[in-house]
């Protein structure tokens, strides 16, 4: 809307100029690319180059604990009954955390995520994620909840007491590919040096969409990538990295 307003004002003041039309076409092309696999993959790659899922126990650098960062939930209430549904990002993080836990022979999974937005969330994100972890094969007795963290910057502070209580010295962070580099930077700023394992971008049972055909998944990935770029800028300005 901001771009279209600028174009409309410019065109009104300089009707003969072709520049507003060129800007309008460029904006349309950018939105088209953001909604296609080729555009979304480029945005994701620019944030996640070098980040990959953990494949061997040695890559964990002696860690026996997995820390999974929340990726959003949707809470719905009707007639006093509350149901919570994991976002795709959170579901993929749960599945990757369960896989890594089994790979390293882990003793503990810490699920970090509170109520990020009180307008849309009625329960801590970690609560629903922990239930999904049990369904994915992680024993409930080996799961610890951090229900306080509201964003990436909170995670190191709110999980520290849990790490100390369980005498955890090294751990593996699980999060989405475009989020991993910023998450590691925040944890290192707080004095930790975790290993990382990123999730898949989508369920592996789905066939890849044609590279230049717009689809919902690609638009969501582009949105998440742009959000993380904004997060990098904001965190850098606040000295959090």
Q: Where are the domains of the chain?
A: 2-35, 51-200+223-237
Output DSSP code: residue 55.
-
CA distance 89 to 87: 5
The percentage of residues in the chain with a pLDDT greater than 90, rounded to a whole number, is 75
Walk across the sheet containing 171-175 and list its strands: 143-146, 108-112, 65-69, 171-175, 195-198
Q: Whole-prediction pTM value? A: 0.88
Reduced to 3 states (helix: H, G, I; strand: E, B; else coil), residue 117 is coil
The arrangement of secondary structure in 51-200+223-237, i.e. its CATH architecture, is 3-Layer(aba) Sandwich (3.40)
- pLDDT higher than 90, residue 12: no
Reduced to 3 states (helix: H, G, I; strand: E, B; else coil), residue 207 is coil
Tell me the pLDDT tens digit for each residue of 123-172: 899 999 999 999 999 999 999 999 999 999 999 999 999 999 999 999 99
Are 92 and 129 a contacting pair, CB within 8 Å?
A: no
Are 123 and 75 a contacting pair, CB within 8 Å?
A: yes
- pLDDT higher than 80, residue 108: yes
Nearest to 148 by CA among 113, 186, 109, 111: 113
- pLDDT higher than 90, residue 28: no
Reduced to 3 states (helix: H, G, I; strand: E, B; else coil), residue 42 is helix
What's the pLDDT at 10? 80
Residue ranges with strand state E in the chain: 65-69, 73-78, 81-86, 108-112, 143-146, 171-175, 195-198
What's the pLDDT at 26? 86
Nearest to 91 by CA among 108, 118, 112, 70: 70
What's the pLDDT at 13? 78
Section 185-192 average pLDDT: 97
Locus of tokens 């810490």: 110
Are 159 and 171 a contacting pair, CB within 8 Å?
A: no
Section 16-23 average pLDDT: 75
pLDDT class of 104 with cuts at 50, 70, 90: very high
Are 32 and 212 a contacting pair, CB within 8 Å?
A: no
Residue ranges with strand state E in 34-86: 65-69, 73-78, 81-86
Section 208-228 average pLDDT: 92
Residue ranges with strand state E in 12-86: 65-69, 73-78, 81-86
């Amino acid at each position: 809307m901001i771009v279209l307003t600028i174009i409309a004002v410019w065109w009104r003041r300089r009707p003969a100029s072709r520049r507003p039309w060129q800007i309008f076409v460029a904006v349309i092309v950018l939105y088209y690319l953001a909604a296609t696999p080729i555009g979304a993959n480029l945005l994701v790659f620019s944030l996640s180059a070098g980040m990959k899922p953990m494949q061997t126990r040695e890559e964990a650098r002696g860690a026996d604990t997995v820390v999974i960062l929340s990726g959003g939930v949707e809470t719905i209430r009707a007639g006093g009954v509350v149901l919570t549904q994991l976002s795709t990002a959170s579901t993929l993080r749960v599945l990757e955390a369960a896989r890594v836990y089994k790979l390293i022979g882990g003793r503990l999974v810490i699920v970090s995520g509170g109520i990020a937005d009180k307008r849309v969330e009625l329960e801590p994100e970690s609560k629903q994620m922990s239930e999904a972890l049990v369904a994915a094969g992680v024993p409930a007795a080996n799961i610890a909840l951090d229900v306080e963290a509201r964003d990436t910057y909170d995670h190191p502070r709110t999980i520290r007491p849990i790490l100390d209580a369980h005498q955890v010295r090294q751990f593996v962070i699980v999060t989405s590919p475009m989020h991993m580099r910023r998450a590691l930077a925040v944890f290192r700023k707080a004095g930790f040096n975790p290993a990382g394992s990123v999730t898949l971008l989508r369920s592996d049972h789905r066939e890849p969409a044609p590279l230049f055909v717009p689809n919902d998944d690609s638009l969501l990935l582009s949105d998440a990538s742009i959000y993380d770029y904004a997060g990098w800028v904001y965190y850098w300005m606040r000295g959090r990295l």
